[in-house]
Chain A
Amino acid sequence: SYVLTQPPSVSVAPGQTARISCGGNNIGGKNVHWYQQRPGQAPALVVYDDSDRPSGIPERFSGSNSGNTATLTIGTVEAGDEADYYCQVWDNTSDHPVFGGGTKLTVL
């Protein structure tokens, strides 16, 4: 099945930019979705179709996808952005959704 690889953790100082990667074989040919999961809460969609944002999500959240890597970028990071972030794609081979292993974003 299709495998998505994320770094276990990313740390960034407040006000800086955080970048979280999601690697997969030719992931640039797929639509990548990103979810934020704050401690003790359910996941929530923050970026879909590589770079679009659901209503209510700040413009600080953006995404890109090319080649074998998709990236979630969070600009001007705030303490409230501290959470686990998961990438997700649709695996056409299995016809099932697939999640990355998740990245814990720590705001220093």
Chain B
Amino acid sequence: EVQLLESGGGLVQPGGSLSLSCAASGFTFNSYVMNWVRQAPGKGLEWISGISGSGRSTYYAESVKGRFTVSRDNSKNTLYLQMNSLRAEDTAVYYCARRGSGRYFGLFDFWGQGTLVTVSS
């Protein structure tokens, strides 16, 4: 059974930093592109970052480029998101999501339960 479990959310001041983790199990972790998708309170879904199975390629939405860094440790089956220079508008639930493989590369087939990040003074 595929499982994705995020952790690391919490309250942080504007301009501060926070690191999120996503522990994966139930599949061959290094075979999949992994992603972070966030959802501001009462708002819709926003894809913010992805990383290739090997970790060599990373992808970012313009809204977080230069501030957030995605990485992975395939030996630990864990995905990370380092968030710096946080702003109030970064307040959201952050989901870890697996992208489909092969011809299904464009969809997200499994999601974690999310972790809440609140940026406030």
Contacts and interface: CB of A to CB of B under 8 A. Distances in A.
B108 interface: yes
Interface residues of A, number: 24
Nearest to A6: B44
Interface of A: 31, 33, 35, 37, 41-45, 48-49, 54, 86, 88-90, 95-102
B106 A89 contact: yes
A90 B108 CA distance: 11
A3 B112 CA distance: 25
B25 to A, nearest CB: 16
A6 B73 CA distance: 37
Contacts, number: 55
B52 to A, nearest CB: 13
A5 to B, nearest CB: 12
List the 7 closest A-B pairs by CB distance, nearest first: A90-B106, A102-B44, A42-B111, A33-B107, A99-B45, A97-B47, A101-B44
A43 B107 contact: no
B9 to A, nearest CB: 14
B44 A45 contact: no
B104 A48 contact: yes
Given A42-B111, A89-B106, A99 B44 contact: yes
A49 to B, nearest CB: 8
20 contacts: A35-B45, A35-B108, A37-B45, A42-B112, A42-B113, A43-B37, A43-B95, A44-B111, A45-B107, A48-B104, A54-B109, A86-B44, A88-B108, A89-B106, A90-B105, A95-B59, A96-B61, A99-B46, A102-B44, A102-B45
Contacts of A99: 44-47
Contacts of A35: 45, 108
A96 B44 contact: no
A42 B45 contact: no
B45 A86 contact: yes
A35 B110 CA distance: 11
Nearest to A92: B106
A35 B59 CA distance: 22
A24 B100 CA distance: 22
